Every structure is written in structure tokens, then in C-alpha cells.
Amino acid sequence: MPEMTYLQAISDGLRQEMRRDERVFVMGEDVGVYGGAFKVTVGFLEEFGPWRVIDAPLSEIAIAGSATGAALMGLRPVAELQFADFVSCAWDHLVTVAAKQYYRAGTPVPLVLRLPSGGGFSGGPFHSQSPESSFTHIPGLKIVCPATPRDAKGLLATAVEDPNPVLYFEHKHLYRRIKADVPEERYTVPFGKARVHHAGDDVTVVTWGAMVYTAAEAAGELRGEGISVEILDLRTLQPWDKQAVLESVAKTSKLLILHEDTRTSGFGAEIAAQVAEDAFEHLDAPIKRVAAPDTPIPFSPPLEKAFIPQVDDVASALRELVAY
Amino acid sequence: MVAQTHIEVVMPQMGVSVSEGTIVKWLKSEGEATKADEPLLEISTDKVDTEVPSPADGILDRIVKLEGETVPVGTTIALITPTDAAAGKSGLLPEPASAASSAGTQAAAVSVPNGPGGGRTFVSPVVARIAAEQSVDLSLVPGSGRGGRVTKKDLLDHIERTVSAAAETESQPQAAPAPGARSQPSSAPHFETPGERQERETPGERYERMSQMRLGIAEHMRRSLDTAAHATTVFEVDMSRVVEIRTRLKPEYLGTHGVRLTYLSFVARATVEALRNWPWLNGEVRGEEVVTRGFVNLSIAVALDESKGLIVPVIRNAEGLNLLGIARAIQDLSERARAKRLIPDEVQGGTFTITNPGGYGSIIGTPIINQPQVAILDVEALVKRPVVISDANGADAIAVRPMMNLCLSFDHRLIDGAYAVQFMAELRANLQNWNEERY
């Protein structure tokens, strides 16, 4: 089984989908000749030609709109936005058209929109956001947030197969930092199934994306103190694995929700509400959230560090929960 | 601090098969004066809860074991400075001043963590639920959470401790091990997710966790049926003579002795008498041997509140008690059983059981034997019935008589039918021809 970075796994999965199914094509700013802003589609133009690897104008609404139209006509577009931050430009097409088309007209919109998201490298307020929570509020969209190379590839295959519009949030900070063995052959990872990143008994952390690794480091610190932390990686937020979260909470009775996005109306609020509704009688402490403060993301490295939840923040929140 | 100046309070031996006890509540605090035999603390074993009296007059100098702790029998749980020693009248040489004063300061310095809950009464949802399901009194659980809060872990540890203590005590061999493995009460409660719960629930159904006593009874009843070859025989007894004697003696018993004279007392007395001649019914099967005894420890089944629970206290050496003695013992044990003030030895070591559903109007029953005994007598309701009697001339006539059915379940492994019914015939004769001189 070859070792791949998170980025290579996405690239490998995408190439496999294009080889497997002629309807699959990519489009986006600089995805062709340049190979993509982060080089996910390097070599794609050479292999699949300009009809299936399309450089788009600098307009997210054009990309989302064309992808929606192509999907309506039976193709399987995998469109790329250079940064997830600019998805706001495409909001109307995604929310008003793509998400509601099947409900309104019965025509499926099998598009995948790749959205490089997340901070940690001083990208500032326009190139560091994690806007996945906003879209979980829109019925008709599916939201995918892989944390591992293996999931990145398998979830991309599932996204391409899915008949609904799928927003695929790939975390930029994981691109070249995270490496793991990834199967060469094609496989899929189901939506709505969480992954136990680390099993434990005393407290549960529910998270996704890059924060999985922050949680894991904190759990490693706490292990030395005799505290056993269970980390659930949700992998997809829409649908999300309520059952896995409820079962873990039933076991540990203490829940920390960790996300990189800002706190208010972040997806953690939804998880907390659901657990309070369905697992109230299993709770032994208040549900706790660790998330970014409600501000734009600062450029300054020390400020960005203060903004994005760090290992120490998670560890001290976990200690508080355990001591409660 | 030297040994002579203190009296050690130890976890008492509450019964032969009880190996440990849990401290429920200290009734005195450190530095408080106590009198000999005054209740000092409450303890709990798997069988009963009870108070431990102070062994001497003095000052409770130091509490060594805190509320919620479970310790083996004989463990020192507190130190008392007797009054005479404290007053320097012990006859011993006075201790060097430093040592003597250190006793006091040390005692004062012992930090007693906040009592259960530490005054903080917050109970988390999961703790509230588990405590309700398992019928746990949270004030008995030491809390390790913030401000002394009882955490889920504290509660589960407490439950596990009490369950394993109970299992350990129960598994002390009294009889040959029953065939078929005993089901241990599960120590780790299963947690359902709401989804699972919904799938399981049918509208109109309600779920409720069994109490430890209920689980114990369930296990005991099943084990008895798996052990003994149950057979039941029923005898009708004409209670005319007993009714007449009881009516006569009742006011005297109550007025002079404060004892209620019940029909059960007559049956119990007559049973003890009949068992003399039929010793196997007062015996036990132990492996391939039969154990018989020169004494009768009579178990009396007592229903608890709301008929949800049962405890079977034992009248020891019932063969030495006359009617008054037996009536008094039954009254005392049943009252204390309902008040939960029995000590463990009082619910162990029975050799023959009497159960008394007749009080509720039952007229026939097939009781389950109380292991490791081999028989149980069921006392049914006293009812007036038309019966055929023969007069002095041998002529038959129908008369109204107070009749009572006695049902005996016996273990046919040891007791044959002929043996059982001859015992019952003798018991009936004892009752029908009640001999006031003898009983």
C-alpha cells in the first residue's frame, strides 16, 4: 500500500474517478496548465485533455453555475475553488439552485465542489476560513470534511457517486503535513459514518478536519495523566453520525466539541443541542465547546495561533471536564 | 498516642459469612463525647443495615474510615479515648506531655474531606438516572468531583463495590454448590442510546431497574427450583381448639407481655414439636450426605413494603421456646425486618421455613424451598367451612368448623412422600389436640 500525503490522496482519487467514468471532469481557476493552486491536478490536462480539465475564469459564481448546469445535463463535474473562502460568491447557485433543484424539479445535481479550507499558515481573513458550518444549514447539500489521506480518497469517490451536490472541504494545513498508507485500488468511504480516531473511556471529543490532530495531541498529553480520551472524527457533517456521538457520550458521559470555525452557530452548536436532546440522561458534565472566537481570522502568526484552537486549549478544556 | 489510652472501634463481625461492611454514616463526629452502647455509626452489609454501638464511654478521638468506605471485618474504623483514661483515672502512668498532647492535635488535624456531596447538592443527569435505576442513596456515595460532587465514576465504583461485596458474601458455601452456574448480578450497567431505547419500547410499557434485593430473590428462587425436586402436599386442619385457646389467651398475651398471639405462632410451635420426630425435614442435603440437627432454626418469611421484597429472618433454637417465646420472636423479627434493623446473622442459618400467605386470604399454595433447606411450610387462611364430623355415637353430622390448609413443599431428593405426610399428620394432630401443658 503506497504512502500518500493528504493532497496526493485527493489527486489520486480524482484521477481514478476520471479514468473510471468519462462523465467526470474538473474545472476551476488554473486547474489545467498550472495544475491547480495547490497542485492537486498536476498532469491532469496531459492525461485527460482540455475538454475534461477546464481552466475557468476568476469567477466562483461562473464555476458553480457551470458545474450545476453540467450536472443537470448528466455530467459529473468536480469543480475546484481556489479557496473555500470565496464560496460566498457561489452561495446563490449552490443554495438557491443546486440544493433545491431536485426538490423543485426532480432533476438531480450530482456535482462535487472542492473547497480548500482552514488556516494555520497566516493566510489572513480571506484565505483561512472554514465555512462548512454555514452550509450544514442548507437542506439539499452534503458536507464532507476528511481528516486522513485514506478518507480523503474514499470520501471523494463517494462524493462523485452521490446524486446530490456535495461540498468537499479539504483542509489546506493537512495537504502536505499528513501522510499515510492509502490503498491503490478504488474504494469508497460512506457518508454519515464517524471514525474513532482514538478510543477512550473518560471523555469524548467530537471533531473533524485538522482539529482531529490537535485533539489527538491533547489526548496524548492527557494519557500521561491517566485520562483516557475518545476522539470521534465525524468525517461528514451532512449527514453526520449522531448514533456514534450518542453512543460515545453514553460511554464517557462527558463531551467536548472541537472545531476550527468560529464558535457562534458553528456546527458544534448543533451537535451540543442534539446530545442535550437525546442523551441528557447520560451527561455527567455540561457539554463543552472549543472553537475559534467570533472574529475574522488574523494575519499575524501569534494572533492566528491565539485564534485557532491549540493543543493546550484542548488539553485544559479536557482537564476541566474530567475534573468536573 | 499509645494503644492503652485508646479503644479501637472495629468493623464488627455481623455474621459468620459476612466478611466486610460499608460505613454508611457516622453519627458522632471527631471530638464528640459518646456513651457506651450509644449508636456510633451506621454500617451496611449485603444483608442488612444496622447501627454500631460505642464500646465505651469516652471521646470519639479519630474517625479512621470514612463514610462510603468498605472494609474487612476487624478493621479499625475509629479510636475512642475512654472517659477514665481521658480523666487520668486509668491507673496507667501518664504519657509524656508531648505524646499526650499530640493525640489531641493530631486528631484535630486529621482532615476529613467534606461529607457526601460536600454540601453541594448538584446531581448530574446521568448520576440521577443511574441512582434511580439502581436504587442507590446518593448521600452514601463519596464524591470526587468538583466541590465534592458525586460523579458518574464515583457512582459506578460504589455500585460495583456493593455488588461485588454482596456476591462475595453470598458465594460463601452454605450448601453443596447448586448445579448450574449462578447468574452473577451484572456489575456494569448497560447504557442504551435513545435510539435503542425507542426500538425496545412498546407504547404503554414502562421499564424499571430491579433492586439488588429483587435480583437476589430472583436468583435464589431460580436456583432453588434448579436444585430441589419440589413436591407439595396439602393437609386440612380443624383449628377449633386453637381458635378457642387463642381467644382466651390473646388479651393476656397482649396486656401482660405486649405480644400479639397469632395463628402463625401456634403453627410454628406445633411445627417445631413435630420436627423432633421427623428430623430429615429439618435437615439438608450436602453432597452425598444428609445433615440432621438437634436444633431448629425456624425461618419466617416476611413480606416488605408494598409486597415488593421479601426477607426471611431466623428464630434461632426455636426448640427451646414455648408458645409465648415463639410469638414474641415472630413479632420482634417481623417488626425489625420491616424497619430494616436486622443484623446479618438473623437472616442466615435457617433450617426450616414457614411462610404465611394465609393472612391475605390464600387457601392453597406451592411454595419454593428456601435453599439449602429441604422443606417449607405454607400456612393458609383460616376459614369457616361445613365439615362432616362424627359424634360420640358414631353418627355423622355436618358442622361449621374453622379450617386451615397447611401446604408443605419438600425436596423429593431427600424426603419421600410417606415421610412428608406422616410429619404433616403429626403436625395436624398437634394443632387439633393442642396441649396447653406441653406447649
Report B:396-415 residues touching A (Cβ under 8 A): none
Reported as a pLDDT band with limits 50, 70 and 90, residue B317 is very high
Is ipTM strictly over 0.95?
no
Task: Please answer yes or no on whether B192 and A281 come within 8 Å at the CB atom.
Answer: no
Domain ranges within chain B, ordered by starting residue: 3-109, 115-170, 230-432
- Say yes or no to pLDDT of B424 above 70: yes
In chain A, residues with a C-beta closer than 8 Å to the C-beta of B151 are 284, 324
Reported as a pLDDT band with limits 50, 70 and 90, residue B174 is very low
pLDDT 10s digits, A277-303: 999 999 999 999 999 999 999 999 999
Rounded to a whole number of angstroms, the distance from the CA of A230 to the nearest CA of chain B is: 16
pLDDT of residue B117: 41
On whether the CB atoms of residues A153 and A182 are closer than 8 A, the answer is yes
In chain B, residues with a C-beta closer than 8 Å to the C-beta of A273 are none
The percentage of chain B sitting over the pLDDT mark of 90, rounded to a whole number, equals 43
pLDDT of residue B104: 36
- Say yes or no to pLDDT of A72 above 90: yes
Of A98, A87, A84, A74, which is closest to residue A24 (Cα–Cα)?
Answer: A74
On whether the CB atoms of residues B72 and B13 are closer than 8 A, the answer is no
Q: What number is the average pLDDT over the span A111-135?
A: 96
Looking at B276-403, list the stretches that DSSP marks H as alpha helix, in order from N- to C-terminal side.
Answer: 323-338
Task: Please answer yes or no on whether A282 and B125 come within 8 Å at the CB atom.
Answer: yes
Amino acid found at B372: P
Backbone φ/ψ region at B327: left (φ over 0), alpha (ψ -120 to 50), beta: alpha
pLDDT of residue B195: 61
Tell whether A285 lies on the interface with B, counting CB pairs under 8 A: yes
> CA B301, CA A68: separation in Å to the nearest integer?
79
A195-323 CATH pick, 3.40.50.920, 3.10.129.10, 3.40.190.10, 3.40.50.300? 3.40.50.920
Q: Which of B124, B192, B194 sits opposite A284 (nearest CB)?
A: B124
> CA A287, CA B382: separation in Å to the nearest integer?
63
Burial of A206 (0-12, 13-18, 19+ CB in 10 A): buried
Cα angle, residue A271 at apex, residues A268 and A275 outer, rounded to 5°: 140
Domain ranges within chain A, ordered by starting residue: 3-181, 195-323
- Say yes or no to pLDDT of A137 above 90: yes
- Say yes or no to pLDDT of A32 above 80: yes
The percentage of chain B sitting over the pLDDT mark of 70, rounded to a whole number, equals 79
Q: Which comes out higher in pLDDT, residue A182 or B158? A: A182
Reported as a pLDDT band with limits 50, 70 and 90, residue B197 is low
pLDDT of residue B78: 87
> CA B57, CA B34: separation in Å to the nearest integer?
6
Determine which of A180-189, A302-311, B42-51, B109-118 has the lowest per-residue pLDDT on average: B109-118
- Say yes or no to pLDDT of B403 above 50: yes
> CA B208, CA A135: separation in Å to the nearest integer?
43
Q: What is the pLDDT of chain A when averaged over all its residues?
A: 97
Of A185, A133, A142, which is closest to residue A161 (Cα–Cα)?
Answer: A142
B230-432 architecture in CATH?
Answer: 2-Layer Sandwich (3.30)
Please tell me which residue of chain B has the smallest CA distance to A253.
B126
- Say yes or no to pLDDT of B92 above 50: no
pLDDT 10s digits, A208-249: 999 999 999 999 999 999 999 999 999 999 999 999 999 999
> CA B396, CA B66: separation in Å to the nearest integer?
74
Task: Please answer yes or no on whether B191 and A250 come within 8 Å at the CB atom.
Answer: yes
- Quote the strand ranges of chain A, DSSP E: 3-5, 24-28, 53-55, 76-80, 112-117, 142-144, 166-171, 179-181, 195-198, 203-207, 229-233, 236-238, 255-262, 288-292
Reported as a pLDDT band with limits 50, 70 and 90, residue B95 is very low
Amino acid found at B277: N
Task: Please answer yes or no on whether A284 and B151 come within 8 Å at the CB atom.
Answer: yes
pLDDT of residue B164: 67
- Say yes or no to pLDDT of A30 above 80: yes
Reported as a pLDDT band with limits 50, 70 and 90, residue B39 is confident
Rounded to a whole number of angstroms, the distance from the CA of A163 to the nearest CA of chain B is: 28
pLDDT of residue B38: 84
Buried b (16+ CB within 10 A) or exposed e, A128-138: bbbbbbbbbeb
Q: Which of A243, A246, A324 sits opposite B146 (nearest CB)?
A: A324
Q: What number is the average pLDDT over the span A152-172?
A: 98
Determine which of A7-11, B88-92, B241-245, B327-331 has the lowest per-residue pLDDT on average: B88-92
Q: Which of B149, B151, B191 sits opposite A282 (nearest CB)?
A: B191
Determine which of B53-67, B359-373, B400-414 has the lowest per-residue pLDDT on average: B53-67
B3-109 CATH pick, 3.40.640.10, 3.40.630.30, 2.40.50.100, 1.10.1740.10? 2.40.50.100
**Prior bond of A239 cis (ω within 30°):** yes
pTM of the model: 0.54
On whether the CB atoms of residues B82 and B56 are closer than 8 A, the answer is yes
> CA A80, CA A292: separation in Å to the nearest integer?
26
CA distances A252 to A231, B158, B187, Å, are 11, 17, 17
pLDDT of residue B168: 52
Q: Which comes out higher in pLDDT, residue A189 or B109? A: A189
Tell whether A62 lies on the interface with B, counting CB pairs under 8 A: no
Query: Which residues, 6+ apart, have CB-to-CB distance to B280 below 8 Å?
Result: B290, B292, B374, B414, B415, B419
Question: From the candidates B133, B150, B191, which should be mutated to test the interface with A, based on the most A CB atoms within 10 A?
Answer: B191
B115-170 folds as Dihydrolipoamide Transferase (4.10.320)
Please name the residue that has the C-alpha cell 448543533.
A270
Task: Please answer yes or no on whether B152 and A253 come within 8 Å at the CB atom.
Answer: yes
- Say yes or no to pLDDT of A59 above 90: yes
Report B:298-337 residues touching A (Cβ under 8 A): none
pLDDT of residue A305: 96
Cell of B194: 435513545
Question: A3-181 and A195-323 share one CATH topology?
Answer: yes
Please tell me which residue of chain B has the smallest CA distance to A280.
B125
- Say yes or no to pLDDT of B116 above 50: no
Determine which of A32-36, A229-233, B127-131, B236-240 has the lowest per-residue pLDDT on average: B127-131
Tell whether B132 lies on the interface with A, counting CB pairs under 8 A: no
Burial of B180 (0-12, 13-18, 19+ CB in 10 A): exposed
Determine which of A108-112, A145-149, A252-256, B78-82 has the lowest per-residue pLDDT on average: B78-82
**Residue A198 bears catalytic tag:** no
In chain A, residues with a C-beta closer than 8 Å to the C-beta of B195 are 243, 246, 278
Q: Provide the CATH number for the domain formed by A3-181 in this structure.
A: 3.40.50.970
The percentage of chain A sitting over the pLDDT mark of 70, rounded to a whole number, equals 100
**H helix and E strand count, chain A:** 12, 14
pLDDT of residue B181: 37
pLDDT of residue B341: 82
Report B:161-200 residues touching A (Cβ under 8 A): 191-195
> CA A8, CA A276: separation in Å to the nearest integer?
39
Catalytic amino acids of B?
412, 416
